[in-house]
């Protein structure tokens, strides 16, 4: 792709996408140059029409005239003709196999094997001209499958599943192989990190079985904005990078695209490395203690833990490691009691704490101050070894251990028939941004693999902040729900309203509804599919107009944007999901 090499032993590359109207050449060129300036190694630009694809020629020429050599990629949905035009002007073309040839009308239909094979041949015939043209021009392709836009044909045969995503990509990749086009990148994006992880793993295994070796573009699509979006992205992207999967990444934020690059670079710095378990261990690492292609929580025996139980069928508990000196404070008990009080019935709160050995004398005082809180004392020092904790039973946790060490210990326990619960323990740095990404990228892989019975973060942050991060990671890993969950796309030239301000406005109206999933989508491309995981959807349908969804069903069409927020709240009321926001405290 121009001067950029992706895959093999090349470093993981970071990229982003413009959010300007592609037909506005000056604005698109300016944003492209700004992205390159902050470190984007490739810039993607949407080309929703042939006219927009033609405009890429002027954009490319002006970017090069400015002395910028960053390769440009065209993003294509629905229109093969736009792809055939775009391939003349850029270094890479992304197509979505879910809507490049097949329809997406949510139709139920049974295909005979002969009918299905005929449809696959039709897909090949429509895609082949682009492959031939790309090879002739030295242009790379990305076969970018999205969980939210699988075709009806794939959905009817494989369901809305990671397997369906893989099969969709393989159909298109077969044409590239037939035409000997080697410059092909693959992606398997989803707004659900667990689905995304499973899909890429399945694809990696499928390519290995076929003997194909194409690089992967990683991303959690529609991650949203703010800290929750960074946590979702770190769980999905970080998990795969730590597995050695991934050659280029994009962190999709409902913010300025310039904000994506620092997060992407930090994830590469923190996660794109080989984690080495205890090198002194003479025995080989046992088989994986989990199925990498399907979530199943590790089977453990339940153990009393304060007034709760840990392991077995109990939910993954939320714990924190107390900073040294905190337990000695006069107000420590009151602060922990406040954190252990759920904000509403049924919501998770602080369920256990680890007291540093230096503060062990204060553990009993904390137990008396917060009846039912699981309080354990750290006597392990700084050794990177399994530690047994007792709080009515035996529990295993590790100190200073990354993903590989936790997996190795879980494998050893499985081989020995050891069914004790395992606490995922992560020590965090003082740097606020790194702390968020490390918490998610270390705990996330383990939790989504079913290996944790509790999550405990420890660092110089306050217990309140550590608990906030813990609950956020558990929510993004789809294990506990303590807040409203948002699925929001990052925007592009197709977006029909200001995504960032709209998402923030909707969050301000609905952020007090734990357990509710709301999707905010700028256009229809991935909207209904990604909203399969959402309860309600707010999707741009035309400039100034919004379609409102319940699940995948449109319930109100072409609502004026000025009225859409209120109509969304009314839908929440009508479906019994609305709660009045808590009253602000009054002062006298």
Q: Which pLDDT band holds residue 551 (cuts at 50, 70, 90)?
A: confident
In the predicted structure, residue 381 carries a pLDDT above the cut 60:
no
Q: What is the DSSP letter of 22?
A: T
pLDDT at 275: 40
Over range 87-108, report the average pLDDT: 86
Q: Which stretches within 332-380 are classed as H helix?
A: 332-339, 363-369
C-alpha to C-alpha distance for 370 and 496, rounded to whole angstroms: 51
pLDDT at 105: 62
pLDDT at 584: 52
- Per DSSP, the three-state class of 339 is helix
C-alpha to C-alpha distance for 424 and 417, rounded to whole angstroms: 19
Over range 251-274, report the average pLDDT: 92
Domain 13-271 part of CATH 3.20.20.20: yes
In the predicted structure, residue 72 carries a pLDDT above the cut 70:
yes
Which range of 121-130, 338-347, 375-384 scores highest in mean pLDDT? It is 121-130
C-alpha to C-alpha distance for 247 and 266, rounded to whole angstroms: 15
In the predicted structure, residue 469 carries a pLDDT above the cut 50:
yes
Domain boundaries in the chain? 13-271, 303-476, 485-574
Over range 187-206, report the average pLDDT: 95
C-alpha to C-alpha distance for 575 and 551, rounded to whole angstroms: 12
In the predicted structure, residue 181 carries a pLDDT above the cut 90:
yes
Share of the chain above pLDDT 70, in %: 93
C-alpha to C-alpha distance for 469 and 439, rounded to whole angstroms: 8
Over range 108-118, report the average pLDDT: 88
pLDDT at 286: 57
Q: Which pLDDT band holds residue 273 (cuts at 50, 70, 90)?
A: low
pLDDT at 283: 42
Q: Give the DSSP per-residue string, 432-481.
A: HHHHHHHHHHHHHHHHHTT--SEEEEESSS-HHHHHHHHHHHHHHTTS--
pLDDT at 345: 81
Q: Which pLDDT band holds residue 385 (cuts at 50, 70, 90)?
A: low
pLDDT at 262: 98
pLDDT at 284: 44
Q: Which pLDDT band holds residue 344 (cuts at 50, 70, 90)?
A: confident
Mean pLDDT for all residues in the chain:
91
The string of pLDDT tens digits covering residues 25-46 is 999 999 999 999 999 999 999 9
pLDDT at 454: 97
Q: Which of 94, 295, 82 is nearest to 197 (CA)?
A: 295
Q: Which pLDDT band holds residue 346 (cuts at 50, 70, 90)?
A: confident
Q: Which CATH architecture has domain 485-574?
A: 2-Layer Sandwich (3.30)
Over range 12-34, report the average pLDDT: 97
Q: Of residues 435 and 408, which shows the higher confidence score?
A: 435
Question: Could you tell me the two tokens for 36?
Answer: 């390159």
Share of the chain above pLDDT 90, in %: 76
pLDDT at 392: 78
Q: Which of 438, 439, 449, 441 is nearest to 408 (CA)?
A: 449
In the predicted structure, residue 480 carries a pLDDT above the cut 70:
yes
C-alpha to C-alpha distance for 560 and 562, rounded to whole angstroms: 5
Over range 549-559, report the average pLDDT: 92
pLDDT at 552: 81
In the predicted structure, residue 516 carries a pLDDT above the cut 60:
yes
The string of pLDDT tens digits covering residues 274-321 is 443 333 333 444 578 888 998 999 999 999 998 999 999 999 999 999
Give the phi and the psi of residue 336 in degrees, each rounded to 5.
-70, -35
In the predicted structure, residue 380 carries a pLDDT above the cut 70:
no
């Amino acid at each position: 792709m121009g001067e950029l090499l992706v895959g093999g032993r090349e470093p993981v590359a970071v990229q982003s996408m413009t959010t300007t109207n592609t037909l506005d050449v000056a604005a698109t060129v300016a944003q492209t140059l700004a992205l390159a300036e902050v470190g984007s190694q490739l810039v993607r630009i949407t080309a929703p029409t042939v006219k927009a694809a033609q405009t890429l020629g002027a954009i490319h020429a002006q970017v090069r005239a400015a002395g910028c050599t960053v390769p440009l990629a065209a993003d294509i949905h629905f229109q093969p003709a736009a792809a055939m035009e775009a391939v003349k002007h850029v270094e890479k073309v992304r197509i979505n196999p879910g809507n490049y040839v097949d329809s997406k009308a949510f139709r139920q239909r049974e295909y005979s094997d002969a009918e299905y094979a005929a449809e696959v041949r039709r897909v090949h015939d429509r895609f082949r001209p682009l492959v031939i043209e790309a090879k002739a021009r030295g242009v790379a392709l990305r076969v970018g499958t999205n969980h939210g836009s699988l075709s009806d044909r794939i959905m009817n045969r494989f369901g809305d599943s990671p397997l369906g995503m893989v099969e969709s990509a393989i159909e298109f990749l077969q044409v590239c192989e037939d035409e000997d086009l080697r410059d092909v990148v693959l992606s398997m994006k989803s707004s659900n990190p667990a689905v995304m992880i499973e899909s890429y793993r399945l694809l990696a295994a499928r390519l290995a079985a076929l003997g194909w070796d194409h690089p992967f573009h990683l991303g959690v699509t529609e991650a949203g904005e703010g800290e929750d979006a960074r946590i979702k992205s770190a769980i999905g992207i970080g998990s795969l990078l730590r597995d050695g999967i991934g050659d280029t990444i994009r962190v999709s934020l409902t913010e300025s695209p310039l904000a994506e690059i620092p997060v992407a670079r930090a994830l590469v710095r923190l996660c794109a490395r080989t984690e080495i378990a205890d090198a002194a261990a003479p025995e080989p690492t046992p088989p994986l203690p989990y199925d990498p292609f399907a979530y199943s929580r590790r089977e453990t025996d339940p153990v009393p833990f304060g007034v709760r139980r840990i392991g077995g069928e109990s939910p993954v508990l939320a714990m924190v490691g107390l900073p040294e000196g905190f337990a000695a404070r006069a107000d420590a008990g009151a602060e922990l009691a406040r954190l252990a009080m759920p904000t509403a019935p049924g919501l998770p709160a602080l369920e256990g704490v680890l007291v540093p050995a230096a503060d062990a004398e204060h553990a009993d005082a904390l137990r008396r101050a917060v009846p039912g809180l699981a309080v354990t004392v750290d006597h392990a020092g700084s050794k990177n070894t399994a530690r047994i904790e007792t709080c009515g039973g035996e529990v295993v946790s590790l100190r200073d251990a990354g993903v590989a060490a936790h997996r190795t210990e879980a494998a050893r326990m499985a081989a020995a028939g050891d069914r004790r619960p395992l606490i995922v323990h992560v020590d965090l740095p003082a740097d606020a941004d790194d702390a968020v990404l490390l918490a998610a990228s270390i705990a996330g892989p383990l939790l989504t693999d079913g290996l944790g019975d509790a999550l405990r973060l420890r660092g110089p942050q306050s217990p309140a902040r550590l608990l906030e991060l813990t609950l956020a990671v558990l929510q993004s890993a789809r294990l506990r729900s303590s807040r409203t969950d948002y699925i929001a796309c990052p925007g592009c030239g197709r977006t029909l309203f200001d995504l960032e301000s709209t998402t923030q406005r909707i969050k301000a109206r609905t952020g007090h509804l734990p357990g509710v999933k709301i999707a905010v989508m700028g256009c229809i491309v991935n909207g209904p599919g990604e909203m399969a995981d959402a309860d309600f959807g707010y999707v741009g349908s035309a400039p100034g107009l919004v379609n409102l969804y319940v699940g995948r069903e449109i319930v109100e069409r072409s609502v004026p944007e000025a009225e859409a927020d209120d109509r969304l709240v009314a839908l929440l009321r009508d479906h019994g999901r609305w709660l009045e926001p808590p009253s602000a405290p009054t002062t006298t």
